[in-house]
Structure 1
Amino acid sequence: MFTELRRRRALERVKPGNGRPLKRFRWWQHLSRALYSIRLDGDLYTVDVPLWRRLTTEDGKASAHLYVNGRHYAESKLPALFEVPGGTIEVKPSSFGLKRSHYVTGDGAERQLTPDPASAEGRRARLAAEHPVLSGAIGGLSLLVLVVSLALLLMQLAEKLSQIPPVAEQVGTFTSFVTLTGWANFALGVAAAVASTERALRLRYSRILDGS
């Protein structure tokens, strides 16, 4: 949710659209574009986020584009907040995609927008609907990978810090019971990135796990 100050700043960032038509989702855009929609008062509101633009902007931030019935209506730098009938649409990024794409009513009730069926998010949602047990297992594995990665990272960090002379003199040294090679650390980092990407497809985010 947006605080009141962030809410005002987000609304100030919104710019009017140019009316261009919404382009359909392409298969090669699975990890570079997020596309979510919701129908309000008979109109279709679609949020289009070209995630790849984070690599081409000076501040590393992408923009969210709001389309109404397939026409470009507004745009804003992320995190974005768009006023729509009955409330607002909130869009917040994470390092691996989006962590929020929700419709929030005036009384605080919220509903997640529906991902485009052709997108990676849409395919992940279909897997959850058609194979809930498998989906739960994949989600649990992603969570486990992140927990283990964080635990190993903290142990290695504690070992390094304890070797600093002033720290060693005060609290002694700590030796991690798990020693990883450079390749093992690289593989662990890749596994954590994949796990966070899988969670981003479901708009799951933890500041401690996914943010670290």
Structure 2
Amino acid sequence: MRRVRPGDGRDLKRFRWWQHLSRALFHLHLTDGGTGRQVRYTVDVRHGQNQSSGNVKAQLYRDGKQLAVSKLPAAFPVHGGTIEVAMSAFGLKRCHYVTAEGYAQQLTPDPASAEGRRANLDRRHPTLSRTLGALSTVTLAAALALLLSQLAEKLTQPPEIAQHIGTFTSPVHLPVWMNVAVTLVTATASTERALRLRYSRFLDGGAG
């Protein structure tokens, strides 16, 4: 919370189609404790900007006006709890409202965003959605197994190590073009999971 800075009250800009891979937009409706009226909070993350340097920021809007800004990971205090925002290498991994009692609720993605379109696919075609999710998980698991086997082979090649524990030979050796293809497929699988805010330190952390 020490990272949070006051916003300047600027208006929230609507989502544009060309921002699908560079911007995330999520909404949360809460009841204001003082007035009893519905308030809409919006989290806007332009993760296509300065992601490599770690300078990505989350902007919090209240009823369309900028309320606060914070570097990621961010924790915005709101009525009844906190909005927590965090990123992986492929998109958001967390955008949740956490109450004072510890209950966590994921914010709703804007329908125009890539996350919103993925959520719409899940609602309209649940079987297809589950299949895509399963393929992403299997792809990352297979890529991780391949990476670990290649790493084990390299680590056991030096004679001073091999004489103590022996050498390990990876059962799979891929040409350069196939390694590139595996990297692209893995990035696609990680991006698909990020659109659903699914994150595993074991799978997605290894891919990222």
Query: What TM-score do you get using the length of structure 2 for normalisation?
Result: 0.94
CA distance in structure 1 between the aligned counterparts of 2:133 and 2:104, rounded to whole angstroms? 23
- Aligned residue identity for 2:2: E
Corresponding position of 2:162: 168
Corresponding position of 2:25: 35
Candidates 120, 139, 144, aligned match of 1:145:
139
CA distance in structure 1 between the aligned counterparts of 2:66 and 2:116, rounded to whole angstroms? 22
Corresponding position of 2:35: none
CA distance in structure 2 between the aligned counterparts of 1:31 and 1:52, rounded to whole angstroms? 7
Corresponding position of 2:43: 47
The number of residue pairs the alignment matches comes to 200
Candidates 174, 191, 195, aligned match of 1:201:
195
Give runs of aligned pairs for residues 18-167 of structure 1, distance below 5 A: 18-41=8-31, 42-55=38-51, 59-167=53-161
Q: How far is 1:60 from its partner?
A: 2.2
- Aligned residue identity for 1:199: R
- Aligned residue identity for 2:23: R
3-state SS in 1 of match to 2:128: helix
Could you list the per-position Cα deviations for residues 109-149 of structure 1 after superposition, in whole angstroms to 9, with x for gaps in the alignment?
Answer: 11100000000000000000111100000000000000000
CA distance in structure 2 between the aligned counterparts of 1:76 and 1:202, rounded to whole angstroms? 23
CA distance in structure 2 between the aligned counterparts of 1:139 and 1:182, rounded to whole angstroms? 27
Runs of 4+ in 1 over 2 A off after TM superposition: none
3-state SS in 1 of match to 2:49: helix
Q: How far is 1:62 from its partner?
A: 0.2
Could you list the per-position Cα deviations for residues 150-180 of structure 1 after superposition, in whole angstroms to 9, with x for gaps in the alignment?
Answer: 0000011111111111111111111111111
Q: How far is 1:201 from its partner?
A: 0.3
Greater helix fraction, Structure 1 or Structure 2: 1
3-state SS in 2 of match to 1:211: helix
- 1:177 and 2:167 correspond: no
Q: How far is 1:28 from its partner?
A: 0.3
CA distance in structure 2 between the aligned counterparts of 1:123 and 1:154, rounded to whole angstroms? 34
CA distance in structure 2 between the aligned counterparts of 1:171 and 1:12, rounded to whole angstroms? 48
Query: What TM-score do you get using the length of structure 1 for normalisation?
Result: 0.92
CA distance in structure 2 between the aligned counterparts of 1:152 and 1:211, rounded to whole angstroms? 15
In angstroms, what is the RMSD of aligned CA positions?
Answer: 0.9
Question: What stretches of structure 1 of length at least 5 have no aligned partner?
Answer: 1-10
